[in-house]
Every structure is written in C-alpha cells, then in structure tokens.
Structure 1
Amino acid sequence: MFDGFALEEIDVGEVRLRVRHGRGPDRAADDVRTASIDSGHHMAEEAPERLAAVLTAFLAAA
C-alpha cells in the first residue's frame, strides 16, 4: 500500500508526526500526512493543545 512513499518523522514538541509522501501519476495526493494524538473520541476537547500543534504544523507546510 505504501510502496513508493517515503517515511519522515517530524517532532513538534509533545507530538511526533509520522509523514508518508510520494509523487507520481498513480497517486491520489502529492502530500499525505498522518498524526497520532492520544485522546478519546472528542479529540478537540481532550487534547486541544496537541491538536492545535498538529494542525498548525500541517497548515504551515502548505
């Protein structure tokens, strides 16, 4: 599933992002990112600072 995608880790303080990215005509997106935030179902209420850090890092890279 991730053949051709490079894995990169980005440390943004309390959160470490694991990012996979790849390019090519058979890709649905040029930049695919994932993040793991330790929380329950309501992430924005349970981990607002970490969620803000992840979203800020994502939007800053755009």
Structure 2
Amino acid sequence: MVSSSIENVEDFNRLNFEPIEYFDNIGRKYPMYEMTRDGFMMLDMGFTGNLVCCDILIYANTN
C-alpha cells in the first residue's frame, strides 16, 4: 500500500509539475515550474506528510 501511494505521488508530480526555465528582462535564466490546477491545489493545501498527501490526491481525483 505504501509503495503504491509513493508511486501515485510520483505520477502526480510528473503530471502536474513541469520544470521549465524563464528569462528576465536582461536575459538571466531562472528555474520555474508550470503546474496544473491540481498541482496548485496540492501546494495551496500545504501538505506535510504522505498520509495527508494521499488524502489530497484522492480529493483531487474526485473533482
């Protein structure tokens, strides 16, 4: 069950957070992430552990 939950979290992260780069107005490169609505919800809820994270994933998948 735990390994399945970890795989679900890894899948969730891969599908909802994409590392990209952006450039400021003088051409400096910075790291940035594009995220989906579900990814933003995950951050917004401020999860602190695997159990809470799994609850959030369940909630996200029902909407």
TM-score w.r.t. structure 2 length?
Answer: 0.30
Higher relative contact order (CA 8 A, sep 6+): 2
Question: Max radius of gyration: which structure?
Answer: 2
